[in-house]
C-alpha cells in the first residue's frame, strides 16, 4: 500500500476537500472583503501545529520531489525549525501557540506562493474566511486583512458548516488513534514534516 492509497491519507484528502469547499463558500458569502489571492501570504508566517497524518502526507509529497528541489526545501525547513525553537524557547509542547508569526513557511516560494499547495494542511485551507470552533464558541477567528477585529458580518451557515468540518477533523484523529497510528510527544509542524519522514507513523 502506498501513502497515497492509505485509508487515513484518503480520509485526510476528504477533510481537505471539505475545507476547500467551505473556504470557497465563505469567499462567495463575503465577496470583495476576502482579499486572499496569489501573492498574499501573510498567513504563511503563522505558527501552528499539524497532525501526524498531515505530516505523513507532506512527507510523501517531499519524497517525490526532484533531489535539488527537495534539498532546497529541506534546507529552508531546517532554518525554519531553528527559528521556531528560538521563538518557543526550545520547549514547544502540543497545544502551544504564539500570537503574531514572523517565521515564514519553508514551502513559501520567492514568488509568494505555496510550493506544496496540494499537500498543504487543513489550517492553510481554512484560514482567510471566518473560522468557527465549536469548542470556543465565544469567538470567531478571521484574517485581519479581510476582517478588522470586532467587525460584524452575516453568514447563516458558518456555525453548522464549520462545526461539521471540525467534527470531521476530530473523526480523522480518532480513526488514526484507533488504527494504532503512532503519536509523538514532540509537536509536528510543516517544517518538521519536510525534514523528517512522518510516513513511519502511519499504522
For residues 17-24, average pLDDT: 97
Residues 6+ apart with CB under 8 A from 41: 104, 108, 112, 113, 114
**pLDDT at site 94:** 94
pLDDT digits (tens, 9 = 90+) for 140-190: 888 888 988 778 889 999 999 999 999 999 999 999 999 999 999 999 999
pTM: 0.93
Q: Residue 12 and residue 169: Cα distance in Å, rounded?
A: 8
More confident residue, 179 or 137: 179
Overall average pLDDT of the 5-22 stretch: 96
**Residue 41 has what pLDDT?**
85
Give tens-digit pLDDT for 147-157: 887 788 899 99
Confidence (pLDDT) at 166: 96
Gap between the Cα atoms of 116 and 59, Å rounded: 11
Q: Residue 2 pLDDT > 70, yes or no?
A: no
Higher per-residue pLDDT: 99 or 106: 106
Q: What is the pLDDT of residue 102?
A: 78
Q: If you compute the radius of gyration of the chain from its CA atoms, what whole number of angstroms results?
A: 17
Residue 1, pLDDT > 80, answer no
SS3 114: strand
pLDDT for the residue 182: 94
Mean pLDDT is lowest, of 21-30, 42-51, 146-155, for 146-155
In angstroms, how far is CA 151 from the centroid of its own chain? 25
Residue 100 has pLDDT above 80, yes or no: no
d(CA 37, CA 166): 24
CA nearest to 84, candidates 191, 183, 197 = 191
Instruction: Quote the pLDDT of residue 67.
Output: 97
Amino acid at each position: 500500500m502506498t501513502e497515497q492509497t492509505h485509508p487515513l491519507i484518503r480520509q485526510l484528502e476528504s477533510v481537505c476537500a471539505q475545507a476547500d469547499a467551505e473556504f470557497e463558500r465563505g469567499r462567495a458569502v463575503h465577496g470583495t472583503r476576502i482579499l486572499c489571492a496569489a501573492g498574499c501570504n501573510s498567513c504563511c508566517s503563522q505558527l501552528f501545529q499539524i497532525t501526524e497524518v498531515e505530516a505523513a502526507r507532506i512527507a510523501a509529497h517531499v519524497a517525490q520531489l526532484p533531489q535539488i528541489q527537495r534539498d532546497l526545501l529541506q534546507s529552508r525547513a531546517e532554518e525554519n525549525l531553528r527559528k521556531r525553537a528560538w521563538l518557543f524557547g526550545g520547549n514547544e509542547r502540543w497545544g502551544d501557540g504564539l500570537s503574531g508569526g514572523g517565521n515564514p513557511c519553508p514551502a513559501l516560494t520567492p514568488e509568494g506562493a505555496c510550493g506544496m499547495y496540494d499537500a498543504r494542511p487543513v489550517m492553510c485551507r481554512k484560514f482567510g474566511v471566518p473560522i468557527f470552533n465549536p469548542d470556543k464558541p465565544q469567538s470567531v477567528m478571521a484574517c485581519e486583512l479581510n476582517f478588522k477585529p470586532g467587525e460584524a458580518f452575516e453568514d447563516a451557515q458558518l456555525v453548522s458548516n464549520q462545526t461539521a468540518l471540525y467534527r470531521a477533523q476530530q473523526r480523522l484523529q480518532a480513526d488514526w488513534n484507533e488504527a494504532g497510528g503512532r503519536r509523538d510527544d514532540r509537536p509536528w509542524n510543516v517544517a518538521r514534516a519536510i525534514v523528517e519522514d512522518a510516513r513511519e507513523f502511519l499504522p
